[in-house]
Amino acid sequence: AQSVTQLGSHVSVSEGALVLLRCNYSSSVPPYLFWYVQYPNQGLQLLLKYTSAATLVKGINGFEAEFKKSETSFHLTKPSAHMSDAAEYFCAVSLSGGYNKLIFGAGTRLAVHP
Amino acid sequence: DSGVTQTPKHLITATGQRVTLRCSPRSGDLSVYWYQQSLDQGLQFLIQYYNGEERAKGNILERFSAQQFPDLHSELNLSSLELGDSALYFCASSPRQGSNYGYTFGSGTRLTVV
């Protein structure tokens, strides 16, 4: 069965600093990988997805993630944090092909300080 | 507005009662997914429907049931409610069964059981 581990339930950065949110997955077959963001009192919004094309995936709001099979990782990065990036971020995995539900990690709450 | 509509936004009810949560998927989407988000369990997959048929079940309690109607809207029925059922319930939709499209989430229904 597939699973996702997000390292660090809380991450705090200064405005303008690099954002790095870590995600490691477990899957017996090639996975699809996703990052979602949840702002307070809102639903989840898709940031980016990896579906076996390019390993470096660019998403919305300046975020990107790199699929590294050897490390079973899909870390989310942004070169320069903005105050508006403060939110909860979820990594998710599913099996490629067919109809397969998304399995979410526990989430990482990102705080951005002035 | 994501295009996925969930009603009601908030629901307060007593233990032992029954409630119905409603979801209208994004126009053209055939798959509907229900998730429960709580502080201790995180985002848990409950059930998936595709074009009116149940396709996958997750950690859904026997007290809970769902269906998808011919117009593709879905309802999640929660009965014999317990305090522990208090959570955010999200509906998501996707064009087809595959997860590679990513899901579009609604803004959720916050259920409080008192």
Q: What is the pLDDT of residue A21?
A: 98
Chain B touched by A31 (CB under 8 Å) = no
Selected residue with higher pLDDT from A45 and A41:
A45
Please check the confidence at residue A48 and state whether its pLDDT lies above 90: yes
Chain B touched by A44 (CB under 8 Å) = yes
Selected residue with higher pLDDT from A94 and B110:
B110
**Which among A95, A96, A94, A72 has a CA at the least distance from the CA of A23?**
A72
- Give the mean model confidence (pLDDT) for residues A72-95: 94
pLDDT band for A111, please (50, 70, 90 cuts): very high
pLDDT band for B98, please (50, 70, 90 cuts): low
Q: What is the pLDDT of residue A97?
A: 57
Q: Which residue of A has its CA nearest to B40?
A: A106
**Which among B46, B45, B39, B35 has a CA at the least distance from the CA of B91?**
B35
Q: What is the pLDDT of residue B92?
A: 95
For residue A101, the chain B residues in CB contact (below 8 A) are 33, 45, 48, 56, 58, 99
- Give the mean model confidence (pLDDT) for residues A55-62: 94
User: Mind listing the pLDDT tens digit for each residue in B28-68?
Assistant: 999 999 999 998 888 999 999 999 999 889 889 999 999 99
**Residue-by-residue DSSP string for A14-51:** ETTS-EEEEEEEE-SSPEEEEEEEE-TTS-EEEEEEES
Please check the confidence at residue A98 and state whether its pLDDT lies above 60: no
Counted across chains A and B, CB pairs separated by less than 8 A come out at: 62
Q: Which residue of A has its CA nearest to B98?
A: A99
For residue B33, the chain A residues in CB contact (below 8 A) are 101-102
Q: Which residue of A has its CA nearest to B57?
A: A101
Q: In B, residues 92-111, which contact A (CB 8 Å cutoff)?
A: 92, 96-100, 102-108
Q: Which residue of A has its CA nearest to B89?
A: A43
- Given a contact cutoff of 8 angstroms between Cβ atoms, the answer to whether A73 and A7 are in contact is no
pLDDT band for B112, please (50, 70, 90 cuts): very high
Q: What is the pLDDT of residue A85?
A: 97
